Structure formats: C-alpha cells, structure tokens
Structure 1
Amino acid sequence: MNWYVVYTKPKWEKKTAEQLNKFGVNCYCPTIKRVHQWADRKKKVEVPLFNHYIFVQLAEKDRNKVFVSPGVIRYLFWLGKHAIVKDKEISTIKEWLNADDTSDVSVIEYQIGQTIKLDSGPFSEQNAVVKDITKTHYVLILESLGYILKMKHH
C-alpha cells in the first residue's frame, strides 16, 4: 500500500486525520510543538508540520475512502500523477520529529524558483525548489518526494 498526500481545509489537518483513522484509513499527520503567545499567556500547542497536508496509506482502489471526511479537499498530484511518499520518507519524518534536537535546517538567501541542495537535517542531499519566501520561512518542494517543506530563515 502506498502513502499518498491529501490536501485538507485550513486548520483541519489533525481533525481530518482523526476522522479518517476512525474510518479505518491509516493516516499520519506529523506535528511539532510551538509556543503560542497570547496577550495574557503563553502556551505550548501541537501544530501540523505541513500546513494543509496529511499522509494516508491506502491501496490504490481505496483512494476515494478519504472523501468521507469533510476536511479533505483533494489529493496532491506531482507531475500529473498522485504524489506517493515512500515508507522510508515517512520513517525519516517520524525519526526527525522524535529526535531531541529537531533543529531548523540552515539555508542562505535564496530566490523563488531556484533549485537548491539541502545541506543538513533529515533531507540532506535532497534537491528542492524554492516555491515561496515568507517573512520567516522558505517554502520548498522536495523534488524526489513531491511534497512541500517549510523551513525557517536564519
């Protein structure tokens, strides 16, 4: 069975994964802990590592099962086909998130559209295309995996 990438409604990643798990679909929604600052307090919350994306493991014939969740918008496609993530890559994400030191990947200034080779972290030696640059993050598309990675600037 393959791992596919499902695009969800905003802020529905964890809820969609929970719903699909209840329907017997093996889902993985990687999360990280972030400190959220409110006017009166700080709180550690678990947020999805990939905004809008969760991973589902299904047989090809069962792909439509994900649409039982109202949080599912569509599958992610890569080069005209359903994007497939290898077991090894899912394991890498899990190991990286379980490691004590989930340090941010360091990058230098890049331009949108530029292809770069990551030099550290769990995806080192992977080629990525810079898709977007925000005030705090680079948004990258990993060429071999066909999915998006968000990295902090330094």
Structure 2
Amino acid sequence: MNWYVLYTKPKWEKKVAEQLQAIGIDCYCPLVIKERQWSDRKKKVEMPLFNSYVFVHLDEKDRSLVFQSPGAVRYLFWLQKPAIVREDEIATIKKWLNAPDVAEIEVSSYQVGDTIEVDSGPFVNHKAVVQKVTNSHYILVLESMGYVLKIKHK
C-alpha cells in the first residue's frame, strides 16, 4: 500500500478526510492551529497544513474508491505518475506537528537548486530531507510532492 496525494475541492480537506474514513479508507489530513483575526475578535482555528490535499493510504487497485466523496477531485501527479509519499515522510509530518516546540508552520513551493543539509537541532540524523536549521526555523523538503515545509519553533 502507498500514500497517495488526493486533490480536493477548496476548503473540503477535513470533510473529504471524514467521508473517506467513514467508508473505511485510511487517510491523513495534517492540521495546524492558526490564529485568525475577525473585525471583532481573534480566534484559534484548525486548518489543513496543505491546501486542497489529503493523503490516502491504499492499494493501487483501490485508488478509484476515493471518488465516492463528492469533494475528491483528482490525484496529484508528479513526473506523469501518481505522487507517492513515503511512509517516513508521513511519519515526519506527524512527528513535527506533535512536537512541543513548534509554533508555526508554513508551506511553500519547492525551489530547484536548494542546498539540503541538516547539521544541528532536534531533527539531526533524521531520515527526512531537511534544507537548513536556523535559530527560528526548520526547513523540511518533501521531494516526492515538490514542497518545502517551513517550521518556526518557539
């Protein structure tokens, strides 16, 4: 079984994950808590880490089952093949989101030619591919998806 990246309708990530779990499909929608400002108040809300993406864990032959959810649009492709996320990358995302010293996470597009190096910090010798660790940020490169996770720690 592989982890595939399912593209969803905008703002449907959590709904799609719930619908897929209801029909017995193993899926993961990484969520982060962000503070949002309204005109009269501030509120902390749970938001998907990846806009319009949900990770699904299933066999190649079962890939069409996800379209039972009306919010599922298509699979993400990378180099003309369905994007497959390695198990250790999913584990790294889960570990980082549960880390007590992570204050803020931001996702941006992968930049070709970035120097990837881990030489200090709590993720040294980790199997994830990390670009750099500074005094305020960790940067994790998810090569199979073409993303860079920028994680701000306290």
The two structures, once aligned, show a CA RMSD in angstroms of 3.0
Measure the CA separation in 2 of the matches of 1:124 and 1:104. Answer: 19
Q: Is the 8 A contact 2:32 2:105 kept in 1?
A: no
TM-score (norm 1): 0.76
Quote how far apart the aligned CAs of 1:10 are: 0.5
Corresponding residue of 2:6: 6
Distance 1:8 1:116 in 2: 29
1:139 maps to none
- Residues 5 and 55 in structure 1, CA contact (< 8 A), matched pair in contact too: yes
Supply the distance in 1 between the matched residues of 2:8 and 2:92 (Cα, whole angstroms). Answer: 22
Alignment of 1:85-104 (within 5 A): 85-103=85-103
Q: Indicate the residue corresponding to 2:145 in structure 1.
A: 146
Q: TM-score, normalised by structure 2?
A: 0.76
Paired position in structure 2 for 1:51: 51
C-alpha distance in 2, partners of 1:6/1:35? 26
Length, aligned pairs only: 136
- Report sequence identity in percent: 53
Alignment gaps of 5+ in structure 2: 132-140
**Residue type matched to 1:146 in 2?**
M
Go from structure 1 to structure 2 and tell me whether the alpha carbon gap of 1:87 and 1:143 turns closer, same or farther (over 3 Å shift). closer
**Structure 1 residues 152 and 85, CA gap change in structure 2 (3 angstroms):** closer
**1:122-133 aligned within 5 A:** 123-125=128-130
Structure 1: which 5+ residue stretches go unaligned?
A: 107-111, 127-141
CA distances 1:81-112 after superposition (whole Å, capped 9, x unpaired): 11101111100000000001225589xxxxx9
Residues in 2 aligned to 1:11 and 1:147: alpha-carbon distance in whole angstroms: 21
